[in-house]
Structure 1
Amino acid sequence: MKKIGVLGLGKVGSLVATLLNSKYEVVGMDKSPAKEDFNFETLKGDVANEESMRSFLKDKQAVVSCLPYFLNIKIAEIAADMNVHYFDLTEDVPTLNAIRKMAENTNAVMAPQCGLAPGFIGILGAGLYSQFDEIRSVKMRVGALPLHPIGQLGYSFTWSAEGVINEYLNDAEVIHNGERKMVSSLDDEEIININGRQYEAFSTSGGLGTMCETLEGKVDTLNYKTIRYPGHRDGMKLFLYDLQMKNDRKLAKDILNNALPLVDDDIVLIYAAVEGKINGQLRRKEFTKSYQNLTLEGQDWRAISWTTACSISAVVELVANGKLKNKGFIKQEEIPLDLFLSSNFGSMYEKHGI
């Protein structure tokens, strides 16, 4: 793998391209490239135009999509047809299922959901539960938040507003009492304390990726929840359900983007806990870390940007180096945690976690 295309040069995509360009030849494409001096080649193009996409991918061995989830299926179709390795950040379950089917008829790798959650959290969870002989429960929590919250929502869209609304409205898959089922997002609220500060966590869609399928019949409890400041869930339920904004996602996105300004200082919280038996003894293993802004390549990056960018870049690196399979669908939980953390980009999680 020598030449890689990166689609979408926004908050995350521009850093993904910057990181990968340190090891590979990267060409970025965006409908409206930022007027910045990137260290990689950039092109202006429309990803919805099939002819343009095929021309862009003809000399690439891999493509990384950092675009909103609803644009990914067509891009993945073209990549699969051209046998170009495909990676994305989607949290959308229908998109995941469509891409998984494409993987049956291509000689390329199809690796969606390579971000933070789904993505790194699945690799982390699997790294914990692989230490157990019997697994009783797997609980994973992730939050991307402004460092200094204001207002009832205590939130800022440091990544895609479309993605946040999508994961709040779509049902979430869990394993409960040994049964694989769907539950409503924004429900099953709990209070969680991390580093002495209180947060709330609640069910959201997509965070588990394919893990329910992987652990079906092997675990009593498996769930993923999003971490927010207290009061956020109630405010969003009022907005999306009581005010019926769930029926107009575009308007909901526009209102929230207008109401919640982007902030420079953010924090990413990651918590995972697994219970089960090791050598016949009941044990519990946990992982708790937080991540803040970081300077990379001489530029300051938000926590959500660099944690997401390092996650997908690490998966690309592992495929490029022959550490993972070179064709077909890749589940995040199939990626060994030690392999991920020893990679050039995955090691950032070890170096900069608090």
Structure 2
Amino acid sequence: MPDAPMKSPGEKPRPFSVVIVGGGRIGSALAILLRQVPEFDVVIVDPTEPARVNARNLNLRLVDIDPGNASKLDSLLARSDAVVAALPSSATPPVAAAARRSGVHYLDLSDDTPGLEAVRREAASAPACFVPQCGVSPGLISPLVLDLLSRGVMQAEVNVRIGTLPRHSTNRFGYGLTWDVDALLREYLQPSTALIDRKVTSLPPLSEQEQLRLDDSLYEVFVSGNISLSLCTRLEGCVDSLVSRTIRYPGHLDYMKFLLDDLKLRHRVDLLRNLFLNALPEIDDDRLLIFITAVGMRNGRRIEHRFARHVVPATIGAVSLSAMRRTAASHVAAILDLIREGRLGGPGLIAQEDIPIDALRANRFLSWFFDGIATASAAHSSMETAS
């Protein structure tokens, strides 16, 4: 990482320079958040026309270079402190390699894919912090789960239920695009990492359908991948079970199984992807639902700890940000802020499980997410869940 320049007495420190590679939903939201405070200087790298239009409309600084051009990216990072790969997981390794070469901090929003392993290999010899898997899930989910488990229950059964939905459903599918379509398809098609009987295993996607009632509204939930392998490995042998489920409006799963099984589209993912892109609207007026429970025994009684959050869009700096964009970008911004303050360890890989939740809760970018949220303990759950 470049050394800070010498300062005269009373001179303000130079801003923490962040390069955001990818000017899509999360990348632009992160830039909007960081420009609200003077401690950060932000530029977006994206050569695409939609990114140029978006940056112009939002008054964001954009550098029109191809992030695949290693020499140009290295030249830009040489004058920076950190880089964020706001890209699909498969596109993150070249950015991680550039971060290692330039000695800058690296963050991304990846999930458990081969690209993540390549990032971890780069982190092994990196002179700065490498923090993959930021965002809502896996990101925030890991410290939230660990926080519930720290409250002292034995033989714990942990259930993570999370979903981003249109606030007003306008189609039979009850859904719209709020994030990366390829990551969405992986959740529907790939096995979900879980803990069963204290051992790491995988569960079939779209299995174990249940009904869930939250705030007098009824939803359906089913298995999908929102838990990272690193969290499951950390908790193996310590908790009885850890399962992730997606929240959707009732009827969504039946339509999904019709597409995958009746129309055989699980064998033609290219067609399914095009169908989603062409038929589903992009959603900004969304809601993010998170409901995590840890049920176990304490002093001979069955105890439940829970975390529940319902996020809706908000206006930041005169720009409306969807619930998913705001939450994911706030998590990335908080981690950048902690790195800037020297409050995270390093160099090398930092797992989401290693980031103290108290530091996230107190950070200016993410404190809103925790405001007014209490974790309830009860011998019996007052939140109805029925099979």
Query: What TM-score do you get using the length of structure 2 for normalisation?
Result: 0.86
Output one character per residue of 1:211-256: Cα deviation in whole Å (capped at 9) or x when no partner.
1011001011111111111121222222234323333434322211
Shift of 1:297: 0.6
How do residues 1-354 of structure 1 correspond to structure 2 at under 5 angstroms? 2-21=16-35, 22=37, 23-32=39-48, 33-35=51-53, 36-132=56-152, 134-278=154-298, 282-351=302-371
CA contact (8 A) 2:67 2:95 kept: yes
What letter corresponds to residue 219 of structure 2 in structure 1?
A: Y
What letter corresponds to residue 40 of structure 2 in structure 1?
A: Y
**Secondary structure of 1:239's partner?**
helix
Output one character per residue of 1:68-96: Cα deviation in whole Å (capped at 9) or x when no partner.
12211221122223322111111233222
**Secondary structure of 2:278's partner?**
helix
Change (3 A) 1:163 1:319: same
Output one character per residue of 1:7-52: Cα deviation in whole Å (capped at 9) or x when no partner.
1112221110121232311111112223224454211122222233
RMSD (Å) for aligned C-alpha atoms: 2.1
Shift of 1:276: 3.0
**Counterpart Cα distance in 1 of 2:269 and 2:373:** 35
**Secondary structure of 1:118's partner?**
helix
Change (3 A) 1:57 1:245: farther
Shift of 1:324: 1.3
CA contact (8 A) 2:89 2:113 kept: no
Change (3 A) 1:247 1:55: farther
CA contact (8 A) 1:267 1:291 kept: yes
What letter corresponds to residue 33 of structure 2 in structure 1?
A: L
Calculate percent identity across the aligned residue pairs. Answer: 32
CA contact (8 A) 1:62 1:84 kept: yes
What letter corresponds to residue 323 of structure 1 in structure 2?
A: R
**Secondary structure of 2:239's partner?**
coil
Shift of 1:352: 8.2
CA contact (8 A) 1:175 1:212 kept: yes
CA contact (8 A) 1:92 1:166 kept: no
Contiguous gaps of at least 5 residues in structure 1: none
**Counterpart Cα distance in 1 of 2:47 and 2:262:** 36
Change (3 A) 1:138 1:97: farther
Change (3 A) 1:280 1:97: farther
Change (3 A) 1:282 1:80: farther
**Counterpart Cα distance in 2 of 1:292 and 1:209:** 29
Change (3 A) 1:45 1:238: farther
**Counterpart Cα distance in 2 of 1:245 and 1:353:** 41
Bigger Rg, structure 1 or 2: 2
What letter corresponds to residue 24 of structure 1 in structure 2?
A: F
Shift of 1:351: 3.9
**Counterpart Cα distance in 1 of 2:283 and 2:58:** 22
CA contact (8 A) 1:294 1:303 kept: yes
**Secondary structure of 2:117's partner?**
helix
What letter corresponds to residue 230 of structure 2 in structure 1?
A: T
Q: Which moved more, 1:1-10 or 1:263-272?
A: 1-10
Output one character per residue of 1:110-158: Cα deviation in whole Å (capped at 9) or x when no partner.
1111111111121211111112163511211110000111333210001
Aligned residue pairs total 354
CA contact (8 A) 1:266 1:292 kept: yes
**Secondary structure of 1:275's partner?**
strand
